[in-house]
Amino acid sequence: MEAATPTYGDVFGTVPVATLAAGWEFWDDWRLDGAIRYAYSEGAVNWFGSWSPSVVLRAPVTERWEVHAEWFGSYTQGLADDTQQPFFSPGTHLSITRNVEIGLRIGWGLTADAAPFFSDAGIAIQY
């Protein structure tokens, strides 16, 4: 559980957020992780719910290189015009050193509400 209260803007209601996550390890270090997040947010007219589920299957290629396939989405509940935004996203990441990792992924929206395509790259540095 967590919550956030905006300090500037048109809405000031505290937004509670609940998250449930679970993961399983399989053969040869494959992993299946899933999560669902629910937020209760103040909109321009009323309060509404927002669901954000995700499921990702990860498979090692080498000791430092891993690939994944993910399904995730964002769904509103209680708005005059609710949205359904599911996505499919394959990607990869490579551990350069014990504390540095780079990642790449692409993805496609699966409904008219979702962006048709995205891509991103990132670097993580642990210190």
Tokens of residue 44, six digits: 């321009």
Q: For the chain, how are helix, strand and coil distributed in percent, rounded to 5?
A: 0, 65, 30
Give the C-alpha separation, 35 to 89, whole Å. 16
CATH for 2-125?
2.40.160
Residues of the chain with pLDDT under 70: 11
Mark out the alpha helices in 1-127 (DSSP H runs): none
pLDDT value at position 118? 97
pLDDT value at position 45? 80
pLDDT value at position 42? 81
3-state secondary structure of 8: coil
Q: Where are the domains of the chain?
A: 2-125
Q: What is the pTM of this model?
A: 0.85
pLDDT value at position 50? 94
